[in-house]
Amino acid sequence: MRKSFYLGAAMAALVAGSASAEQLTISGPWLGADEENVQKVLDVFRAQSGIDVSYVGSDSFEQQIVIDAEAGSAPNIAVFPQPGLAADMASKGFLTPLADGTSDWIKENYAAGQSWVDLGTYAGKDGADSLYGFFYKVDVKSLVWYIPENFEDAGYDVPTSMEELKALTDQIVADGGTPWCIGLGSGGATGWPATDWVEDLLLRTQTPDVYDGWVKNEIPFTDERIVAAIDEFGAFARKDEYVAGGAGAVASTDFRDSPKGMFASPPQCYMHRQASFIPAFFPEGTVVGEDADFFYFPSYSEKELGNPVLGAGTLWAITSDSPEAHQFIEFLQTAEAHETWMALKGFLTPHKGVNSDAFGDPTLKKMNDILLGATTFRFDGSDLMPGGVGAGSFWTGMVDYAGGKEASDVAGEIQSSWDALK
């Protein structure tokens, strides 16, 4: 069995009776409520290890961590909201590989464990791959929101496969209703909700290696499998009778306003596919689990591709090596490190060893069950692509597609923008 550095060091600190002989510095993107929550997790580590931990949050973390690393003044640990920046820093020699055995622990203890190892493994300055990132605090995007009362009144059941979801979509139309509310509007970021649709649908029509090759530009947007995934989105979004306001309203409807049609009387739509954060834009007083609920955006039963989950999350990496930094990464492997935040708000985890009863919110527990049921987890693909593509031509291309442009033409334009970056 692997020797526990964490427990040994913690016990040594307690035996010595030392309060804070050593220090650990952490920086990340969390401010406000999230900063208060992470401080509660750090309190547990402080109490158990005797190490003095300081966390500094910043709304310009992505820029500051690069500046600090280049200046040789990086914190011991940095919390990255996206793998891309961590991978870039690893390639420049600014990250320290995690301890031997960490990848084995993740594969054994995290649902879809290999996915998390892959997401945290990057090429170092010498070109060799190592595990640099430990994921902690995850978000789920593969959700469909609905109003239980609307389903009950209409006699609809929650679908458990993509085949059933498409059949329900057709049934709602046949009954004179509108199945979907979809909005791509988001100011300067208009179009991003459609990229999530495409990513989710690609994971449900192709194997994970196709998704991985696509986000690395090893498989181009123009590949027929990628074009087909875009058209899968169109099967929901480009039919007037399928979308509230008609297909022409998809691109111009703000994503924050789009779910409100579910709450109208009679309902303007029955379903809305969106990530776990969307209840923030539901009508005031809406109780999730009662007034509104969600189900897993299902996979095709006939394709036998398992239950993929699309999401995002934060990874913790060592940016200034020290024994205390490795000790803290081992602490993140304990159930208590996860359960402490689970009892608060805004936390999901793929850790299979946690007590789900620790969740302070039954909605989060239900979302976490979806995460734990994942056979594959993949990070938001557009976030892994170069900014000019993932946060540029992919967004605008999906707006063009929603407006009627052919998927092959849109894919060609997005790919050309990526090729121009070389």
């329900």: which residue's tokens? 168
Distances (CA, A) of 113 to 12, 46, 83, 261: 31, 28, 16, 38
How many residues are recorded in the chain?
A: 422
Let me know: does 209 contact 115? Beta carbons within 8 Å.
no
Q: Is the pTM of this model over 0.85?
A: yes
**Which residue, chain included where needed, has tokens 């492997």?**
333
- What amino acid is encoded at 226 in this protein? I
> CA-CA distance, 144 to 297, in Å (whole number)?
6
Q: What is the pLDDT of residue 20?
A: 38
Task: Give residue 168's pLDDT.
Answer: 98
The answer to whether the bond into 266 is cis (omega within 30° of 0) is: yes
310-327 b/e with 16+ CB inside 10 Å = b? bbbbbbbbbbbebebbbb
Please tell me the predicted confidence (pLDDT) of residue 415. 98
Please tell me the distance from the alpha carbon of residue 311 to that of residue 348, in angstroms, as a whole number. Answer: 11
| Rounded CA separation 62/54 (Å) | 19
- The distance in angstroms from the start CA to the end CA of the chain is 47
| Cα–chain center distance at 244 | 27
Distance CA 125, CA 145 (A): 44
**pLDDT digits (tens), the chain, 422 positions:** 333 434 444 433 333 333 334 899 999 999 999 999 999 999 999 999 999 999 999 999 999 999 999 999 999 999 999 899 999 999 999 999 999 999 999 999 999 999 999 999 999 999 999 999 999 999 999 999 999 999 999 999 999 999 999 999 999 999 999 999 999 999 999 999 999 999 999 999 999 999 999 999 999 999 999 999 999 999 999 999 999 999 999 999 999 999 999 999 999 999 999 999 999 999 999 999 999 999 999 999 999 999 999 999 999 999 999 999 999 999 999 999 999 999 998 999 999 999 999 999 999 999 999 999 999 999 999 999 998 999 999 999 999 999 999 999 999 999 999 999 97
- What pLDDT does residue 60 have? 92
> Residue 221: its pLDDT value, please?
98
Taken in order 403, 405, 411, 415, the sign of the CA dihedral is negative
Return the bridge partners of 130, or none.
Answer: 122
Q: Which amino acid is at 298?
A: P
Helix H, strand E, coil C: the string for the chain is CCCCHHHHHHHHHHHHCCCCCCEEEEEECCCHHHHHHHHHHHHHHHHHHCCEEEEEECCCHHHHHHHHHHCCCCCCEEEECCHHHHHHHHHCCCCECCCCCHHHHHHHHECCHHHHHHHCEEECCCCCEEECCEEEEEEECCEEEECHHHHHHHCCCCCCCHHHHHHHHHHHHHCCCCCECCCCECHHHCCHHHHHHHHHHHHHHCCHHHHHHHHCCCCCCCCHHHHHHHHHHHHHHCCHHHECCCHHHCCCCECCCHHHHHHCCCCCCCEEECCCCHHHHCCCCCCECCCEEEEECCCCCCCCCCCEEEEEEEEEEECCCCHHHHHHHHHCCCHHHHHHHHCCCCCCCCECCCCHHHCCCHHHHHHHHHHHCCCEEEECHHHHCCHHHHHHHHHHHHHHHHCCCCHHHHHHHHHHHHHCCC
Among 234, 168, 220, 228, residue whose Cα is nearest residue 203: 228
User: What is the set of domains in the chain, with CATH numbers?
Assistant: 5-132+311-374 (3.40.190.10), 143-307+386-419 (3.40.190.10)
